[in-house]
Amino acid sequence: MANGEEKKMLPESQAVPPEQIAAENVPVAEAAAPVEVVPNVSKESPAARPAPVAAAQPPAEESLALVRAAYEHPLPIRITHWVNAVSLFVMVASGLRIFRAFPTFGPKIPERVLLDIPKSLTIGGWLGGALQWHFTFMWFFAASGVLYLAYQFLSGHYRTVLFTAKDISGVWPMARHYFLFGPKPPVTGQYNPLQKLAYTSTIGFGVLSLLTGVVLYKPAQFSALAWLLGGFHLTRLWHFAAMCGFLAFIPGHLIMVVLHGWSTFVSMLSGWKREPEYQE
Amino acid sequence: MIEKIEDRELKRRGRRQLLMLAPVAVLGAFALPKLSDHLVAAGVRFSDWASGSLFRSEHLAPTFSNSEVVPFSNFPYNGYDVTDPGVDLENWTLTVEGDVQHPGEYKLSQIQALLKINQNTRHVCVEGWDVIGAFGGTPISEFLMLVGANTSARFLEVECADDYYESIDMPSALHPQSLLCYEMYGQPLDRGHGAPLRLQMPTKLGYKQAKYLETIRVTNVLRAGKTGYWEDQGYSWFGGL
C-alpha cells in the first residue's frame, strides 16, 4: 500500500479521536502494526473513558497506528449473505437427495439413470426427510434473496457489484490473470469485472432456481409459469441447471476468499475491509 | 469510501458488528438432529399452510390432448406394498361414514350413475417423475352431494383394501377435477391401478391418490399419526400441486 495515499487522506479522517488531532504531524507508524497494549480510547463512548485521560494517553506512534479500511458490506448484505450461504448448502444437499429418487430427466418408463449421486453428499436420510429440509430452507433461501435484492436496489449499493456493459472489456484481462498467469489488471474498485460477472450470475441462478422451484412445487397453481418455462420436464432441468450454476460458482468463490486472505473473510463478518487494494 | 481508522478502533468495530451477526449462527445450531427434526417439521407445516392458502378452487390443472397421453403400458404401477390386495370386485361396496346424512354402503353402479368426467391430466410423483394419463370417474363433489355430506367439514379420510390410508382437505376434494376414478384409458380400473375405485386429483401429488378405496369418512378432526400412510412418515400432508 502506498503511504503517500494515506497522508493525503489523513485530514478527512473521521475516526481520529479529537484529543489526538493535535498530534497528527507525528510520523505515522507502519500501518499494519497491531496495537493491543493500551485501553481502548473511543470517541463514541466518552463516558466509559477513565477520568485521567492525559495520564492514560499512549505513546504517540502507537495511538496513531492508522489503517485504511472500507465499510464494504452493510449489515443487511452480511445477514442475507450468511442466511443464503446456509440455506443454499441445505438446498443443494437435500436437492441432490430428492434427485436420487428419480435421477434422470427422461420418462419414468423406461427409466435411464443419468447420475448416481452418492448418499454421502446428501442430507435428509431419505426422500421424505430431504423434502422436509428442502421445503423448510426454501423459505430462508427465498427470503434472503428477496431481502438482498430489495436492499441492494433501495440503497443504490448494487452499483458496486452489478455487472454492466462497461465491465465486459475487463472480463478477459481478469480471467487471463486468474487462469493463465497473465498480468494483474489495476484494481479500480471493490469488485473487478470478473467478480461482478460471477456475483451477478449468482443472482440469475437464484432467480432461476426460485422460479423453477415454484413451478416444480405447484405446477398446477402456476401452470402459466410452467408453460413459460417450457413445461414441467424442462423446468426440472432448469432447476437442476441453476444448482449447477451455484456449484460452479461456489468453489471459485471459496478459493478466491482463501487466496485473498483473512481480511476478506472477516469483511463479510464485520463489514470492514482492512487495507483494500483500491483507492478513492 | 475508504476511511483512516485506528487499528484498535477497527478491531472494536469488527467485534461489535460480529455480535449483530450472531443470530445467523443460530441457524447452524439446527445441524443438531434433535433441533433440526423440529425445525423441518415446522417448516413443512408452514409450507402446507401456505399451500392451502394459495390453493385456488376454481383454477384448473392443465389438461392434455389424447396425443399427449402416454401409452397405457408406460403408466407406472406404483404400489407401496402390494400391487393387488385381492379385492372381491363382485361384492365390493364403498363404506361412507362421518358427517353425512346418508351413511352406509354404496355400490359401484351408484357411483357410475353420477356425472361422469373424462380428463387427460398429469400425474406427478413426489419422486420427480410424471405421466400424463387418461382418467374417467365422477367428481368427488357429486358423490358427496349424493351422500349428503357436510361440505363445510374440513377433511375427507379414506381407507383402502391394501391398508393404505389418506386424508385430504375439503377444498381440494371439492375441486372440479378431483375424481372418484373408476376408469383409466377408457377401461375399468385394473387391479394394479386400484380397482375398482381410486382417488384421482390433478391438484395433488401421486401419494394422495389412494387406490382400492373401501371407506370414505367426512370429518373435522384428523387422528394424530393417522393422517396418511406416507405423511405419517414425513411427507407433506397437503401434497398439493
**Chain B residue with minimum CA distance to A38:** B8
The amino acid sitting at B40 is: V
Give the nearest partner residue to B43 out of A12, A136, A232, using CB atoms.
Answer: A136
Give the nearest partner residue to A108 out of B24, B44, B131, using CB atoms.
Answer: B131
Give the nearest partner residue to B5 out of A69, A129, A279, using CB atoms.
Answer: A69
Q: CA torsion sign, B189 to B156 to B167 to B46?
A: positive
The shortest C-alpha distance from B233 to chain A (Å) reads 8
pLDDT at A63: 52
Domain that holds residue B173: 63-233
Whether B174 maps to a domain, the answer reads yes
The yes-or-no verdict on residue A62 having pLDDT over 60 is: no
Per-residue pLDDT band for A192 (boundaries 50, 70, 90) equals confident
The shortest C-alpha distance from B126 to chain A (Å) reads 9
The yes-or-no verdict on residue A16 having pLDDT over 60 is: no
Backbone angles phi, psi at B149, to 5 degrees: -70, 145
Helix axes B33-54, A127-155, angle to 10 degrees: 70
pLDDT at A183: 85
Task: Give the span between the Cα atoms of A192 and A172, in whole angstroms.
Answer: 11
The shortest C-alpha distance from B11 to chain A (Å) reads 9
Show residues of chain B in contact with A13, CB under 8 Å: 3-5
Mean pLDDT of all residues in A5-31: 40
Show residues of chain A in contact with B128, CB under 8 Å: 98-99, 101-102, 236
Mean pLDDT of all residues in A231-245: 94
Task: Give the span between the Cα atoms of A42 and B5, in whole angstroms.
Answer: 11
Give the nearest partner residue to A83 out of B8, B27, B131, using CB atoms.
Answer: B27
Strand B117-124 vs strand B165-169: parallel, antiparallel, or unpaired?
A: unpaired
Whether A273 and B21 have beta carbons less than 8 Å apart is answered as no
Whether B10 maps to a domain, the answer reads no
Whether B187 maps to a domain, the answer reads yes
Whether A135 and B238 have beta carbons less than 8 Å apart is answered as no
Task: Give the span between the Cα atoms of B101 and B200, in whole angstroms.
Answer: 24
Whether B38 maps to a domain, the answer reads no
Query: In terms of Cα–Cα distance, which of A130, A101, A136 is closest to A117?
Result: A101
- The CA-atom distances, in angstroms, between B204 and each of A116, B104, B171 are 28, 27, 12
| C-alpha cell read off for A239 | 432447476
Give the nearest partner residue to B4 out of A13, A36, A140, using CB atoms.
Answer: A13
Task: Give the span between the Cα atoms of B234 and B41, in whole angstroms.
Answer: 8
Residues 6 or more apart whose Cβ sits within 8 Å of residue B182: B108, B111, B112, B136, B137, B138, B188, B189, B196, B197, B198
Mean pLDDT of all residues in A249-254: 92
Show residues of chain A in contact with B54, CB under 8 Å: 218, 221
Whether A267 and B2 have beta carbons less than 8 Å apart is answered as no
Q: Quote the strand ranges of chain A, DSSP E.
A: 66-71, 272-274
CATH code of the domain containing B206: 3.90.420.10
- Quote ipTM for the complex: 0.91
Give the count of domains, chain B.
Answer: 1
Per-residue pLDDT band for A42 (boundaries 50, 70, 90) equals very low
The shortest C-alpha distance from A226 to chain B (Å) reads 10
Task: Give the span between the Cα atoms of B224 and B232, in whole angstroms.
Answer: 9
Contact A101 B127 (CB under 8 A): yes
Exposure letters B19-28 (e unless 16+ CB within 10 A, then b): eebeebeebe
Per-residue pLDDT band for A92 (boundaries 50, 70, 90) equals very high
Mean pLDDT of all residues in A143-158: 93
Query: In terms of Cα–Cα distance, which of A8, A15, A24 is closest to A67?
Result: A15
Show residues of chain B in contact with A135, CB under 8 Å: 40, 43-44, 47, 236
The yes-or-no verdict on residue A46 having pLDDT over 80 is: no
The shortest C-alpha distance from B49 to chain A (Å) reads 12
Low-confidence ranges of chain B (pLDDT < 70): 1, 79-82
pLDDT at A5: 38
The yes-or-no verdict on residue A34 having pLDDT over 60 is: no
Query: For the domain A71-274, what is the CATH superfamily, name and number?
Result: Transmembrane di-heme cytochromes, Chain C (1.20.950.20)
Contact A70 B3 (CB under 8 A): yes
Show residues of chain A in contact with B234, CB under 8 Å: 126, 128-129, 131-132
Query: In terms of Cα–Cα distance, which of A227, A273, A271, A279 is closest to A74?
Result: A271
pLDDT at A145: 96
Tell me the DSSP string of chain B. Answer: -EEEEEHHHHHHHHHHHHHHHHHHHHHHHTTSHHHHHHHHHHHHHHHHHHHHHH--TTPPPPB--GGGSPPGGGS----SS-S-----TTT--EEEEESBSS-EEE-HHHHHTS--EEEEEEEE-TTS-EEEEEEEEEEHHHHHHHTTB-TTSSEEEEEETTS-EEEEEHHHHTSTT-EEEEEETTEEPPGGGTTT-EEE-TTB-GGGS--SEEEEEEES-PPTT-S-TTGGGT--SS-B-
The yes-or-no verdict on residue A37 having pLDDT over 60 is: no
Q: Would you list the domain boundaries of chain A? A: 3-67, 71-274
Give the number of other Cβ atoms within 10 Å of residue A161's Cβ: 17
